[in-house]
Amino acid sequence: MNKIDMNKIDIKKLELLKVSENELLSLTSKLNGNYSKIITKIKKQLGVNLVKINDFPNSGTQAELQLVMLYLCKGRLLNKDVMSKIGSVILNKQQSDWQIRHLAAQCGFYILGKGDLIPNTNLKCPLGFHMLLTLDGLSPKYIALKRIDLLNSDDFNDIKEQFCNRCAHCNSLEGTKNYRDGSKTKLQKGHIDPNKSLEIGNIIPMCEYCNRTYKDTFKFLPNGSVNKMNFESIRVARLAIEKIIEIHGRDIINKWLPYNKK
C-alpha cells in the first residue's frame, strides 16, 4: 500500500474518532447540569492518582464542565470550539477560547492535544482537538513543582519515578513495547537543552527511540514537551537554511544578510 493510500486511511480513522457537535450536545444535555455522579466516577477511576492531581476543578466551573465533556467522550477527539459553543449555552455565559490544555499541563489529567501521538496508532491529535486518553495515569506534560524540583536530583531513578517510569516525551513505559518502533522501552538520560552537558537540572528520561530521533534538534521543557528548535546546533541551522533555499531560493538568504542591506 502506497503512502497516499495510507494517508487516506489515517484521515478516515481520525474522522471516526471525532465527536460531532450534536453528539456532544446530546450527551451533556442528558445530565441536566448535574455532574456529581460523573465527577464521582472520575475520582474513583483516578484512584491513587487523585491525590497527585493539582487543583481538581471546583463544582460549577468552566474547568469542571470541560472535564465532564472529555470524560463522556473518553478515547475520542473533541473540538475545543465545539466544546466552548456548547459550554456557553450550558453555563449561560459566553465562553471564549477554552484553554483545555491547562487540565493536562497544570492539573495533571492525561489529555492529548495538538501533535500528540495517539497510542497504538500512527495518528496525531489534530490542531484544535483534545482527547482524554485515560484516568489510569497522569499526563506526561504535567507541570508540577515537585517534578521540576526533582530535576535537581543526581539520582536518575528519582527523576524517572516522577515521570512514572515513562519517556518524558512520548510516554512509553519502561520495560514495555514502545508503540513507536516496537522495541522494548529503555529509558536514557535525555537533554533538556542539548547545548549543555548531562548535568543536574538538565536531565529528563527519554526512551532510546526519542533520544536517537531528536538528537540535538530541539530544546525541551522540563516536562518533556518540545520548546523550540535548537538553532545553536550547526547541524540544525544548516538543515533549516537548506530547507529555506529549497522553498524560497538562494536569493532570499542574500537579501536577509546584514552586509547586503543598504
10 and 130, same structural domain? yes
Has residue 248 been placed in a domain? no
Element holding 134 (H helix, E strand): strand 129-134
Count structural domains, the chain: 2
241/248 Cα distance (integer angstroms): 10
* 154 and 44 inside one domain: no
Residues 49 and 96 in one domain: yes
Q: Cell numbers at residue 62, please?
A: 468552566
> Of 134, 165, 188, which closes a domain?
134
For the chain, give the mean pLDDT.
Answer: 86
Q: Give pLDDT tens digits for 32-51.
A: 889 999 999 999 999 988 98
Residue 64 falls inside a structural domain: yes
Residues 9, 120, single domain; the answer is yes
Is residue 255, in this structure, part of any structural domain at all?
A: no
Examine the pLDDT at 81 and tell me if it is beyond 50.
Answer: yes
pLDDT confidence of residue 145: 47
Is there a domain that residue 85 lies in?
yes
CA dist 90 and 255 (Å) reads 54
Q: Say whether both 96 and 190 belong to one domain.
A: no
Residue 164 and residue 77 in one domain: no
* Domain identity same for 17 and 110: yes
Calpha distance 84→61 (Å, rounded): 13
200: which 3 cell numbers? 543536574
C-alpha cell at 126: 489534530
* Mean pLDDT (whole number) for 190-197: 91
Paired with 252 in beta bridges are: none
In the predicted structure, residue 254 carries a pLDDT above the cut 60: yes
User: Do 92 and 128 fall within a single domain?
Assistant: yes
The pTM of this model reads 0.58
Q: What is the pLDDT at residue 153?
A: 75
Write the single-letter amino acid at 121. Answer: T
**112 & 178 share domain:** no
For residue 30, give the C-alpha cell: 442528558
Residue 103 and residue 14 share a domain = yes
In order, the DSSP letters of 184-220 are: BP-EEEEESSTTS-S-TTSEEEEEHHHHHHHTTSEEE
Joined together, the cell numbers standing for residue 180 give: 513507536
Q: Which residue has the higher pLDDT, 162 or 58?
A: 58
So what's the pLDDT on residue 143? Answer: 52
Which of 134, 165, 191 is the last residue in one of the domains? 134
pLDDT digits (tens, 9 = 90+) for 106-148: 788 999 988 888 887 888 899 899 999 999 888 876 654 455 6
Domain that holds residue 56: 3-134
C-alpha span between 139 and 162 (Å, rounded):
11
Q: Indicate whether 262 belongs to any domain.
A: no
Neighbours of 38 (CB within 10 A): 16
Q: What percent of the chain has pLDDT over 90?
A: 43
Which residue, 134, 163, 178, sits at the end of a domain?
Answer: 134
Same domain, 8 and 117: yes
Tell me what pLDDT residue 148 has.
61
Residue 128 located in a structural domain: yes
How would residue 260 be classed by pLDDT, with cut points 50, 70 and 90? low
Q: Of 167 and 122, which is predicted with more confidence?
A: 167
What integer pLDDT is reported at residue 52 of this predicted model? Answer: 83
Are residues 167 and 80 both part of a single domain? Answer: no
